[in-house]
Amino acid sequence: MPTASLTNMSVQLEPGGNQGLLMPKLKYRFRVTLENFGAGGSVLELTKQVVDFTRPNVTFENIDLPVYNSTIKLAGKYSWADATCNVRDDAGGNVSKLVGEQLQKQLDFLEMSSASAGNDYKFITRFEVLDGGNGTNAVVPLETWELYGCYLQGVNYGDANYGTNEAMQIALTIRFDNALQNPTGGGGGGVGGTGTAIGRALGGGVATGTGVAQG
């Protein structure tokens, strides 16, 4: 059959030959929801107005151990980069109201009074990569990220311009404490998942993970 040639449209594997290309996740199939955002009411209007969102980005600090003629490198503490979310500013003011409510939870700009504890204003951000389902075909999340301990580090209300044909947007910069990833497919896995156990092999062999142990 001519369609059999489609299995050759990938890099040949050794052993096993070509096995076809895996379907990628598509950037425009996603959903963002916020829990405990604003004054506690519905935030669905904000979900509908999302334009784009950045997936989490984690970086480990370096620990250098200088030795005789070289340097051993270890992974130190981690840090999550800020997430960004751009939303369309609707004419009814729904998005501006929700963002303003969240900012007021962090700091009362009229009374100049701040929240007493982080728990008073922090929220959860959930980002889902979707399969394209809609209507009678139920949508299936292909990947879910949950960002915990979120607050708005920055809000940019953008500009107005007589020379453009664009919708106004509000740019949100979200800072958070931790993030967990839940991919589909079963078997656990992902960032913070249960499928991969962390190594705890102390005492035997080379503790820093360098070189080859001598017999």
- E strands present in the chain: 30-35, 50-53, 58-66, 71-80, 83-88, 107-108, 113-114, 123-130, 141-156, 169-175, 178-183
The ranges assigned to domains in the chain are 24-183
Q: Which amino acid is located at 74 in the chain?
A: L
pLDDT-derived band at 2 (thresholds 50, 70, 90) equals: low
- Tell me what the pLDDT averaged over the chain comes to: 87
Average pLDDT on 104-111 reads 93
pLDDT given at position 212: 47
> How far apart are the C-alpha atoms of 170 and 159, rounded to whole Å?
9
The string of pLDDT tens digits covering residues 94-103 is 999 999 999 9
CB under 8 Å, gap of 24 or more: what pairs does 159-167 form?
167/88, 167/89
pTM exceeds 0.85, yes or no: no
> How far apart are the C-alpha atoms of 130 and 136, rounded to whole Å?
15
Of 157 and 18, the one with more pLDDT: 157
- The CATH homologous superfamily for domain 24-183 is Hcp1-like (2.30.110.20)
